[in-house]
Amino acid sequence: MVCAVRLFRTTRARPSSAAQSSIALPVSNVTQEPSQPDEQAVRQAAALTATAVEALPDGRLARQLDGGRPLRIKLGIDPTAPDIHLGHTVVLNKLREFQEAGHQVVLIIGDYTARVGDPSGRSAQRPMLDPAQIDANAQTFMEQAFKILDRDRTEVRYNSEWLRMESDQLFALMAKATVARLLERDDFQKRMAASEPISTLELMYPLLQGYDSVAVEADVELGGTDQKFNLLFGRDMQSAFDRPQQSIMTMPILPGIDGVKKMSKSTGNYIGVTEPPEEMFGKVMRVPDSILGDYWRLLLSEDPPEAGPNEAKRELARRLVSRFHGPDAPAEAEEHFNRLFVRHEAPTEMDEFQVNGEVHLPAALADAFGMSRSEARRVIGQGGVKRDGEVLPPEPLDYPAAELDGAVIQVGKRRFKRFVEAV
């Protein structure tokens, strides 16, 4: 039995169970591609792939562009977390370029594949997520993605439309791939070499993700370099269903603000797109000079200005803050940065922390700044705590609350609280 899909070209919300149960393979309307694209198509392909790591098969995108119709550009996102950071926007920026060139972006929310868990770059199986959390994450992700994408030129789909299927349909889908092909994945090879387990569920992931490309008739699929196996497997699935095979485009992985590791919330080296303007500005200013060019090219599609690194970072910070917070936000965010790190003044606004009685400073710092008492003692001993701009000595560690009332307590360079005596 052939597993198939019913398409809803204008659907933007999860379909009903009745809609999900009606399944039929899409009828392709793909036109014949020219064997030799014209020069204009070659130039368009070169512009669209300028910041890509790979565009495969070689020359295929130019032939597709010369086919005389808008292409369907696919990006699949598993909503495993509620927020996105600048690393995610590298691919979103590329999608926007395709939209501006007149093509149709198809954003697939992997509400079904998120339950399986993408094994890309993983040394162990991902934990299974609660469906309600997946739905909530998906809504948040879309709100943030549309800060970059043109909402009117984005087709949003949930892959539960076609992946929530009967067992006989699932078995037919599984018959389209071999275990040997699935185990070619580099992540699986490393885990087998280390005698680490691989679940059957994880083996299913590229099969399900690849079938997404069949379902939406993808012409091109985008992803990070860590997604190459999944993107190529989408071509395998299209071929298995006698569909035209998509091109794939892999995009660079944006390094975090530590300049070493991939940007990630788990490592703390990220810049979130919903972070307050002053926080976003300050984090951009911490980007190492050595990767500043990567940030400009991947986030703004421009080379950095010839001004020195400091001004190049400031202009990058202004542009990003303006994109995500509006044109009035950069000036205030930059002033906040100058106040703290150029003039070394306290911020004009800060949270208050109530104290009373005899205040044991390590305990108060632990509660106020979310650190352990031992860490607080260490920071105090290193001269890293200030009261109204003056370094607090290692001793004493106990103060009357009245003595700290109204004082601005600073830990390190970036954290401030105003201590207030409880009434």
Smallest CA-to-CA distance from 180 within 189, 171, 172 is with 189
Flag whether 327 is in a domain.
Answer: yes
161 shares a domain with 31:
yes
316 shares a domain with 202:
no
State the DSSP string of 90-109: HHHHHHHHHHHTTPEEEEEE
For the stretch 68-107, pLDDT in tens is: 899 999 999 888 777 789 999 999 999 999 999 999 999 9
For the stretch 231-252, pLDDT in tens is: 999 999 999 999 999 999 999 9
375 shares a domain with 316:
no
Lowest-confidence region among 49-58, 130-139, 304-313, 393-402: 130-139
Which of 294, 313, 342 is at the close of a domain? Answer: 342
Flag whether 208 is in a domain.
Answer: yes
Flag whether 4 is in a domain.
Answer: no
Interior angle at CA 71, CA 65 and CA 72, nearest 5: 155
Q: Is the pLDDT of residue 405 over 80?
A: yes
Q: What is the pTM of this model?
A: 0.71
244 shares a domain with 108:
yes
378 shares a domain with 336:
no
154 shares a domain with 78:
yes
Is residue 70 a contact partner of residue 155, using CB atoms and an 8 Å limit?
Answer: no
How many of the other CB atoms lie within 10 Å of CB of 162? 26
172 shares a domain with 75:
yes
pLDDT over 70, % of the chain: 89
If one counts the domains in the chain, the total is 3
For the stretch 47-56, pLDDT in tens is: 999 889 999 9
What is the residue range of 330's domain? 277-342
Q: Are strands 408-411 and 247-251 parallel, antiparallel or unpaired?
A: unpaired
Flag whether 218 is in a domain.
Answer: yes
For the stretch 198-210, pLDDT in tens is: 787 778 888 898 9
Which of 314, 342, 370 is at the close of a domain? Answer: 342
Phi, psi of 213 (to 5 degrees): -65, -35
Return d(Cα 223, Cα 221) in angstroms, integer: 7
162 shares a domain with 103:
yes
Q: Is the pLDDT of residue 177 over 60?
A: yes
Which of 342, 371, 397 is at the close of a domain? Answer: 342
Kindly list the distances between the CA atom of residue 208 and the CA atoms of 84, 105, 156, in Å, as whole numbers in the listed order: 23, 20, 18
326 shares a domain with 367:
no
Q: What is the CATH number of the domain that holds 173?
A: 3.40.50.620
Flag whether 259 is in a domain.
Answer: no
117 shares a domain with 48:
yes
